[in-house]
Structure 1
Amino acid sequence: MSDNQTLIENRPPSVAHLFQDRVERTPDAEAYRYPVPSASGRGPDEWRSLTWGQTAERVYAIAAGFVDLGVAPEERVALMSATRVEWILVDLGILCAGAANTTVYPQTTAAEAAYIVADSGSRVLVVENVEHLAAARASREHLPELARVVLVDAEGYAPDPDDPEGWVLTLAELEARGTALLARRPEAVRDRVAAITADRLATLIYTSGTTGRPKGVRLPHGNWSYLAKAIAGTGLVREDDVQYLWLPLAHVFGKVLLSCQIDLGHVTAVDGRIDRIVENLPVVRPTYMAAVPRIFEKVYNGAAAKARAGGAAKYRIFQWAAAVAREYARASQDALRRTGRAEVPLGLRSRHKVADALVYAKLREAFGGRLRACISGSAALAPEIGYFFSGAGIHVLEGYGLTESSAASFVNRAGTYRTGTVGKPLPGTEVRIAEDGEVLLRGPGIMAGYHGLDEKTAEVLESDGWLHTGDIGVLSEDGYLRITDRKKDLIKTSGGKYVAPAEIEGRLKALCPYVSAVVVHGVDRNFCSALVALDETAILGWAAEHGLADRSYAQVLAEPATTALVEGYVDELNRDLQRWQTVKKFRILPRDLDVEHGDLTPSLKLKRPVVEREFRHLLDEMYAGTKEA
């Protein structure tokens, strides 16, 4: 039996156990960094730290607070908050109380949040701010099982005479109750942790589905301790790392990063404000961070736009350097696969060295200058974007998993990664490809089932533990997985040809630095079309250089010159596609796609059916006069 397998099979039953062990081993080591806005609100944030011992003091007080409120083992506590250090403290408090966290995105509508809280049977709801509290108050009549609401940020809070007595507590009040309980019963939390078994419910995460009600995915304690040990076993993350964590922790991708960090004990800097990422990176100087493809696309487009703004010569240099980066990455990865050594020809090495001095070094410095690797997940990264960052010395390691598999099932390893694949399975995870190409998974990270939905569970989870992912993939002889598309997203044209839209969408985003999002359409049609959203900053930069500086974003999108610009890139795209894959027509959307309009999930995944419904008139316009329209 391998060391990894032994480690996994002998793992503790829960992250609560891992946390206790971590605190006992390194109480004085730094655990978390978090920003505190300046008093004036205008200066830079002040970053503060918590040691593992200080973290434990607050976590155990919160856990004891939940015990004092009468929260029973496996009973649900809903947590609705953006990514911040208090999210982590509350989550660990829930786990150490033996309860289960129901995660709720802060952007969730009041109606959907109420559904999740009610469907999960949550007894306590933790909300970030007074706006969330107001929504909870408005939904109270639909939440008969909700006994308490805990408010994290009490700024602007005022008691409501209509609230039942004691219904609202601040987080500080919850911690004070817990501290008082621990003074009376010092072992209250340790007894709860000792009683946790691997099969008990730890987390209930509701999938942000594009149709119908979201489904609650039941993830036991043992799933998280397995992933902590399995990720550590890959060597991907180290004890001396500094992680920058901004991903939504309500999402399974963000959540799994916490488990691994607790096991290894490295530092995590926490700030969920997406608009502060660029500002924070040089301050935090992370050695690794996780992100979704949309972030890498925006960084690439931003770098191209900045070069273009510097004049024609700078833009030509950037384009040349980008081409060299892709060539270098392909050559080194191919050589590594063939010979085991990432050697490239001397001429390419020389060009790469010049490009590094002119372009890549500045890009790495913008990431803080110490970045060893980025982990990309949640959706497919366009290979051309991946090759660019690889060649620039920013190693983007794609991974793969679902909420139903606790996020991490596959990941590329540093030094042996292959752009365009999601790497190899984690130790302890099995994979097979079904006859129709669907990826099936089995292992300790697979969900226990959908909450209260036995029939839905049976549709995807076989009796012998194999999970149907709904993704189509190809497995190489040496175990690297390439996801080609979602099974339900595959397009079958009226001519009977199958088209993988994500592959085409990724290619166009890599070709055109102005594109923010693409939706390729063509089900039961006689050709493929596309809805194209343009990045506001990038396209306004182009407009300023082409006599359109006085136009607004909406006006630039409607300009014939903008359509001609995109058409050139679509023509370039089509030259490398099979005839039935080519995009015959496209329309530029009147705005970018975003979470606020419901086009993207909170983890920035495309909600294809939502976009197609909203812009149905543009699709119908493109197919008007054809026999399928």
Structure 2
Amino acid sequence: MTAAIAPEHLALQRLYHWEKSAPERRVFTQPLGGGVLRTMNWRELMDETRRMAAHLQSYGFAPGSRIAILSKNCAHWLMSDWAIWMAGHVSVPLYPTLAADTIRQILQHSEAKLLFVGKLDGWEAMKPGVPAGLPCIAYPLAPPTDYPGWDEIVKRTPPLQGEPLRDGDELSTIMYTSGTTGSPKGVMHSFATFAWSIQAGLKRVPIDTNSRMLSYLPLAHVAERTLVEHGLLATGMEVFFAESLDTFTADLQRARPTVFFSVPRLWVKFQQGVFAKMPPAKLERLLKIPLLRGIVKKKILGALGLDQCRFAAGGAAPMPPELLGWYARLGLPIIEVYGMTENCGVSHATVPGVQRPGTVGLPYEGVGSRLDPANGEIQVKSPGLMLGYYKEEALTRQTFTPDGWLHTGDKGSLESDGYLRITGRVKDLFKTSKGKYVAPAPIEDRLVMHASVEACVVTGANLGQPVGIVMLNAEAAQQARDAARRTAMEATLAEHLAAVNAPLDPHEQLDCLVVVSTPWTVDNGFITPTFKVRRNRIEEVYAPRYEGWVAARRKVIWELG
């Protein structure tokens, strides 16, 4: 299915449109640290973008050369992306949490000719991954380096003139997926696939020129790239950037976004923050009092910075029904979205005003969706599908069916009205020693809801019953070092295990919970840069201990390291 898109919807055309039609309109609010902010309008940001594009052209790289970006979200991330396109090249975004070996692998595989280095934590550990001799440019917020700086380059470089254009079918970016198994794969997207995808998305998502968004999820991830970058280009909305994790609440309150997307875990943490100030039972009582209900809702949403939010969404994992209900009672119904890098993140979403917990809704207009009758795999087709995996023709062929549908790898089922329910991963199913198959994902979605749990895995191939392995969050791990607190936490975990097991079929019920305090990080290979647990790494490290855990015949087992 080819992306048929009018040229005026393509990225560079949109840039020139806003440059000409709204030069003084504010676009970016960028924290510089210490409470200092910089705002930029279209005229200012396009001046810098044009100057950087001219500088990139001065290197004489062949058209379509790959230029990489390694940075947290900031205004310069987007300006450098646009400069790369204006200069005739292809951008390669890298997650700002990658280990040095992965950075080197991606830079070499993509044959990157230059690297932009920006806001980063742990740069010293990442720097060995940058090949010797690779030209680099440092953003203003980058760690100290001896690389040429963005500001000095744009100061001395005349702006690129005219309106260089790129054809819709041209390669615009290679996005390396983190992947829960194997090496990262370079997903290739054209200017047209992104342009079609944001146009399809805007038929569901209420973004317009007056909208505000906070950019904080990695721009190297397809959700942020489509919704924020291409949403901005399509609508001219205003984008605020987050400064740090410590300032996130203040960043959110400053932006007061009208559209806010997050992963379920953050929605849970918001809820836990509210409960820390007001017990759930008291809050529920107040919400039932007509005279107080509106005041309480306004106060809570105002404290979160979400009192102006008109469209709230969650993705990457299912939202627990009780969590959806809680936010709905606050007057903030959350839309569930489903997509992947290979289709620009635009596949399915629930419909505003119609919450259907446990489903990811209906396909976007123009998206085809079907289930493989053999194994229940969800397959999709749209003009937003990737061009393929970079340098991986065989893998690309395997990822598409003979008639052009994308294998998602997700298992699903359809409700009678067409709403899609995701039931797990095709390859994640495992069989117990009793010959029964277990789909771990739905169990994990409930298991991770405990306030002390940061991440979890349900595993146990060839065991009599599956087991749950949970990693504590930093605060809980600290508390677990104290014997009395650990005893209290164990009681709540045992209660949680019983609640998780209650609705499960007998063969799915967890034998025990194993609590680990050793962090699962990108560096040690336990998680991907998008915080998905790598199951093969879990098996490699913990499988030898499975039999011992089961033999202990305890509901909660501590592996505190």
TM-score, normalisation: structure 1? 0.80
Counterpart among 277, 287, 293 of residue 306 in structure 1: 277
**1:171–1:134 Cα change, 3 Å:** farther
Contact 2:194–2:344 under 8 Å retained in 1:
yes
Q: Relative to 1, partners in 2 of residues 1:569 and 1:137: Cα closer, same or farther, differing over 3 Å?
A: closer
The answer for the alignment partner of 1:483 in structure 2 is: 422
Shift of 1:526: 1.6
Deviations 1:167-190 (A, max 9, x none): x4221243246x3363xxx33xx2
Counterpart position of 2:28: 32
Equivalent residue number for residue 331 of structure 1: none
1:525 pairs with 2:463: yes
| Alpha-carbon distance, 1:358 to partner | 7.7
2:334 paired with 1:396: yes
Check the 8 A contact 1:247/1:272 in 2, yes or no: no
Tell me the alpha carbon deviations over residues 467-509 of structure 1, each in whole angstroms, 9 at most, x when there is no partner.
0000111233433222121212223323232322221122234
1:269 and 2:196 are equivalent in the alignment: no
Deviation at 1:393, TM superposition (A): 1.7
> For 1:560, which of 475, 484, 487 is the aligned residue?
487
Amino acid at match of 2:463: R
Is the 2:205–2:311 Cα contact (8 Å) retained in structure 1?
Answer: no
Residue in structure 2 matched with residue 180 of structure 1 by the alignment: 158
Decide which moves more: 48-57 or 610-619. Answer: 610-619
Question: Is the Cα–Cα contact under 8 Å of residues 304 and 513 in structure 1 kept in the other structure?
Answer: no
1:279-298 alignment runs, 5 A limit: 279-298=250-269
Q: Please, which moves more after superposition, 282-291 or 107-116?
A: 282-291
Q: Distance in 1 between matches of 2:159 and 2:253?
A: 42
> Which among 321, 330, 335 is matched to residue 383 of structure 1?
321
Q: Secondary structure at the match of 2:247?
A: helix
- Aligned pair in 2 of structure 1 residues 14, 82: CA closer, same or farther (>3 Å)? same
Is residue 76 from structure 1 mapped to residue 14 from structure 2 by the alignment? no
Q: 1:619 to 1:356 in 2, by over 3 A?
A: farther
Within-5 A mapping of 1:181-330: 182=160, 186-187=161-162, 190-191=163-164, 193=165, 196-257=166-227, 258-271=229-242, 273-307=244-278, 314-318=279-283, 320=284
Q: Which amino acid aligns with 1:516?
A: E
Structure 1 gap segments, 5+ residues each? 39-44, 160-167, 308-313, 325-349, 541-550
Provide the C-alpha distance between the structure 2 equivalents of 1:129 and 1:285, rounded to a whole number of angstroms. 23
The one of 108, 125, 150 aligned to 2:115: 125
2:102 equivalent in structure 1: 112
- Alignment partner for residue 439 of structure 2, among 500, 514, 519? 500
Larger radius of gyration between Structure 1 and Structure 2: 1
Contact between 1:130 and 1:153, CA under 8 Å: does it hold in 2?
no
Maintained 8 Å contact 1:77/1:100: yes
- The equivalent residue for 2:52 is 62
Percent identity for Structure 1 against Structure 2? 28
Output the CA distance in 2 between the equivalents of 1:616 and 1:354. 56
Q: Which amino acid aligns with 1:462?
A: T
The residue that corresponds to 2:302 in the other structure is 365
Q: Aligned pair in 2 of structure 1 residues 11, 483: CA closer, same or farther (>3 Å)?
A: farther
Scaled by the length of structure 2, the TM-score of the pair is 0.89
1:25 to 1:116, Cα distance in 2 relative to 1, 3 A: same
**Contact 2:5 2:195 survives alignment (8 Å):** no
Structure 1 counterpart of 2:557: none
Q: CA separation in 1, counterparts of 2:532 and 2:142?
A: 32
Work out whether residues 4 and 383 of structure 2, in 8 Å CA contact, stay in contact via their aligned partners in 1.
no
Alpha-carbon displacement from aligned partner over 1:31-77 (angstroms, at most 9, x marks no partner): 11111223xxxxxx233321122221111112222112223332100
* Equivalent position SS for 1:488: coil
The equivalent residue for 1:330 is none
CA offsets, 1:551-586, max 9 Å, x none? Answer: 844335983332222111211222222111211211
Write the distance in 1 (CA, Å) between the matches of 2:358 and 2:48: 42
Q: What is the identity, as a one-letter code, of the residue corresponding to 1:573?
A: V
Q: Kindly tell me: are residues 121 and 475 of structure 1, through their superposed partners in 2, closer, same or farther at Cα, counting changes over 3 Å?
A: same
Are residues 487 and 156 of structure 1, via their aligned partners in 2, closer, same or farther at CA, if it must alter by over 3 Å? closer
Letter in 2 for 1:577: L
Distance in 2, Cα, partners of 1:557 & 1:291: 35
**CA drift at 1:618:** 4.7
Q: Is the 8 A contact 2:123 2:143 kept in 1?
A: no
Query: Which residue of 2 is the match for residue 169 of structure 1?
Result: 148
The one-letter code matched in structure 2 to 1:151 is: A
For residues 36 and 384 of structure 1, do their structure 2 counterparts lie closer, same or farther at Cα, with a shift above 3 Å needed? same
Pair 1:427 & 2:365 matched = yes
Equivalent residue, structure 1, for 2:559:
none
Q: Structure 2 regions of 5+ residues with no counterpart?
A: 554-561
**In structure 2, how many angstroms separate the alpha carbons of the residues matched to 1:156 and 1:560?**
43
Contact 1:397 1:417 in 2 (8 A): yes
Preserved CA contact (<8 Å) 2:460 2:546: no
Structure 1 stretch displaced more, 599-608 or 130-139 = 130-139
* 1:299-344 C-alpha deviation (Å, 9 max, x unpaired): 222333333xxxxxx45324x46xx9xxxxxxxxxxxxxxxxxxxx
Taking the aligned partners of 2:291 and 2:358, their CA distance within structure 1 comes to 26
What is the aligned counterpart of 1:410 among 333, 339, 348?
Answer: 348
CA distance in 2, matches of 1:272, 1:116: 27
**2:504 paired with 1:577:** yes
Secondary structure (helix, strand or coil) at the match of 1:274 reads coil
Task: Return the alpha-carbon distance in structure 1 between the equivalents of residues 470 and 317 of structure 2.
Answer: 18
Counterpart amino acid of residue 366 in structure 1? A
Distance 1:203 1:385 in 2: 36
Contact 1:228-1:260 within 8 A present in 2 as well: yes
Q: Taking structure 1 as reference, are residues 13 and 154 closer, same or farther at Cα in structure 2, changes over 3 Å only?
A: closer
Pairwise CA distance, 1:591: 4.2
Q: Residue 420 of structure 1: CA displacement?
A: 2.4
Select which of 460, 464, 467 maps to 2:406: 467
Does the CA contact (< 8 Å) of 1:443 and 1:465 recur in 2? no
SS in 1 for 2:288: helix
Distance 1:154 1:413, change over 3 A: closer
Cα distance change, pair 367–129 in 1 and its aligned pair in 2 (3 A): closer
- Contact 1:78/1:124 (<8 A) preserved: yes
> In the alignment, does 2:536 pair up with 1:609?
yes
Deviation for aligned residue 1:101: 0.8
More helix by share: 1
Amino acid at match of 1:317: K
Helix, strand or coil at the partner of 1:233: coil
Question: Is the 8 Å Cα contact of residues 96 and 120 (structure 2) preserved in structure 1?
Answer: no
Change (3 A) 1:486 1:215: same
Residue 441 in structure 1 maps to residue 377 in structure 2: no
2:140 alignment counterpart: 153
Deviating more after overlay: 123-132 vs 464-473: 123-132
> Residues 66 and 501 (structure 1 numbering): CA distance in 2 closer, same or farther, change over 3 Å?
same
Greater alpha carbon shift after TM alignment, 245-254 vs 456-465: 456-465
Using the TM superposition, give the Cα deviation of residue 283 of structure 1 relative to its aligned residue in structure 2, in angstroms: 2.0
**Distance of aligned partners of 1:170 and 1:554 in 2 relative to their CA distance in 1, 3 Å threshold:** same
Q: How many residues align?
A: 549
Shift of 1:139: 5.0
Measured in 1, the distance between the counterparts of 2:543 and 2:351 equals 42
Please report how far the alpha carbon of residue 459 of structure 1 lies from its aligned counterpart in structure 2 after TM superposition.
Answer: 1.0
Return the offset for 1:379.
2.5
What are the Cα deviations for residues 532-560 of structure 1, in whole angstroms up to 9, with x where unaligned? 233444x48xxxxxxxxxx8443359833
One-letter amino acid matched to 1:362: K
One-letter identity of the residue aligned with 1:490: L
Deviation at 1:154, TM superposition (A): 7.3
In structure 2, how many angstroms separate the alpha carbons of the residues matched to 1:282 and 1:431? 38
Query: What amino acid maps onto 2:299 in structure 1?
Result: K
Question: Secondary structure of 1:584's partner?
Answer: coil
Q: 1:288 to 1:360 in 2, by over 3 A?
A: same
